[in-house]
Amino acid sequence: MEIAVSYLKSKYTPEETIEKIEKSQADFIHMDLMDGIFVKKKNDDLNYHMNLVRKAIKPLDIHLMMNDPKEAIEILAKIKPKLISIHIEIASVEENLNVIRDLKIETGLAINPETKIEKLQPFLSKIDQVLVMSVHPGEGGQAFLEEVIPKLVWLKNYREENHLHYKIAIDGGINDQTIQKVKSYVDVAISGSYICMNEDFDKQIALLK
Ligand code: DX5
Ligand code: ZN
C-alpha cells in the first residue's frame, strides 16, 4: 500500500508541511483544491499551490473538488502532476477526463460518500484510479465513515472480474485504526491530519504501513 499525504490540515505552515513530506517516506503529495461551489470552502489560488510544490521531487496527486475543473487542469499541467482526480458528481466527467488524458496525466475519479458506486461503472475501464471519499469533501480532520467500505469491496471484485487495472484509493479520516478496516482493499491511502498534526511524519507513516 502506498501513502499519499494531504497538506490541507497541518500544525505546520503549508511550506513547512511540504518540506516535511518531501523528507518523509511518503509516496505522493496529495493536493486538495476546492472551488467554493462544489464544496463550501475555497482554496483554489493555483499559483500559490503550484509554487508550494514547484521544487518537490515526490509525485503529485491532485484532487479537484471543483464543478468546472477544465481550466484548472490545463494550468496545473505545467507542474507535471502524476495524477489528477475529478469528481464523478460533476456535469462533464467524460470531457474533463479526456482533457487530463490528452495532457499525458493519469486520470482519477473521486466519489462522495452518498454517491452510488454504479455511477462509476461506465468509466472504470478507462481510468487509472478511483478515489473513494470516506468523509464529506471540504475539510481535513473529519471522522472516517465506515459505510463506504462496501464500495471498496465492490471495486476490488469488479476489477478482478473484469481484468481491469485501476488503483483503489481511500481519502478521509485515515489513521492507524481506520486503516485496518480498509487495508486489504486499497492500493493507496490518503492521509492528512493523522500525519501532519504530528512532529514525526515518518513515525505516523510507519504506523499506517
Ligand atoms: C477532504 C480532502 C482530504 C483530506 C484528508 O476534503 O479531500 O484529502 O484533506 O485529511 P484527513 O486525513 O485529515 O481526513
Ligand atoms: Zn483529498
User: Burial letters for 123-156: b for 16+ Cβ neighbours within 10 Å, e otherwise?
Assistant: bbeebbbbbbbbbebbbbebebbeebbebbebbe
Nearest residue to 204 (alpha-carbon basis) of 12, 21, 31, 63: 21
- Would you identify the CATH topology of the domain 2-208? TIM Barrel (3.20.20)
What's the pLDDT at 73?
Answer: 98
The confidence band for 173, taking pLDDT boundaries of 50, 70 and 90, is very high
Pocket probe mutation, ligand 1, options 190, 194, 208, max atoms within 8 Å of Cβ: 190
The whole-number average pLDDT for the span 158-162 is: 98
Across the range 115-143, mean pLDDT stands at 97
Q: Which three cell numbers stand for residue 161?
A: 472480474
Torsional class of 60: left (φ above 0), alpha (ψ -120 to 50), beta (otherwise) = beta
Average pLDDT, whole number, for the chain?
Answer: 98
pLDDT recorded at residue 160: 98
171 is catalytic: yes
Tell me, in angstroms, the distance from the centre of ligand 1 to residue 161's CA.
Answer: 30
CB 66 within 8 A of CB 37: yes
> Measured in whole angstroms, how far is the alpha carbon of residue 21 from the centre of its chain?
15
- The answer to whether the Cα torsion of 32, 38, 43, 46 is positive or negative is positive
Give me the mean pLDDT over the 168-173 stretch.
Answer: 98
Smallest Cα–Cα separation from 171: which of 126, 136, 147, 124? 136
- Give the pLDDT band (50/70/90) at residue 85: very high
The closest residue, in CA terms, to atom 3 on ligand 1 is 172
What is the tens place of the pLDDT at every residue in 15-46? 999 999 999 999 999 999 999 999 999 998 99
Categorize the per-residue pLDDT at 79 as very low, low, confident or very high, splitting at 50, 70 and 90: very high
Q: Which residues surround ligand 2, an ion (CB under 5 A)?
A: 32, 63, 171
pTM of the model: 0.97
Say how many CA atoms lie within 13 Å of 32 toward its Cβ.
26
Q: Does residue 142 have its Cβ closer than 6 Å to ligand 1?
A: yes
pLDDT the model gives residue 188 = 98
Where are the chain's structural domains? 2-208
Task: Give yes or no for residue 140 CB within 6 A of ligand 1.
Answer: yes
Whose CA is closest to 182, among 193, 192, 171, 166? Answer: 171
To the nearest 10 degrees (0 to 180), the angle between helices 46-53 and 14-23 is 30
Is residue 64 in contact with ligand 1, taking CB distance under 6 Å? Answer: no
